[in-house]
Amino acid sequence: MSEKLEILGDIDAETCEGEFCELPAHREQAVMNRRVDEDRI
Partner 1 sequence: MSEAISTPVNAPINSPIKVDVWSDIACPWCFIGKRKFEAGAEQFGGEVEVEYHSFELSPDTPVDFDGSEQDYLVTRGFPADRIDGMLDRVTGIAESVGLHYDYDALQHTNTVLAHQLIHYAKARGRQLEMKERLLAAYFEQGRHVGRVDDLADLAVELGFDRDDVVRSLSANEYLDAVRADQDLAIEYGIQGVPFFVIDGKYGVSGAQDASTFANVLTQVRDEKAAVA
Contacts with partner 1, residue ranges (CB under 8 A): 1-2, 4-19, 21, 23-25, 28-32, 34, 36-37, 40
In angstroms, give the least distance from the CB of 29 to partner 1.
8
DSSP 38: H
At residue 41, what is the residue type? I
In angstroms, give the least distance from the CB of 8 to partner 1.
5
In angstroms, give the least distance from the CB of 28 to partner 1.
7
Phi, psi angle pair for 3, to nearest 5°: -70, -10
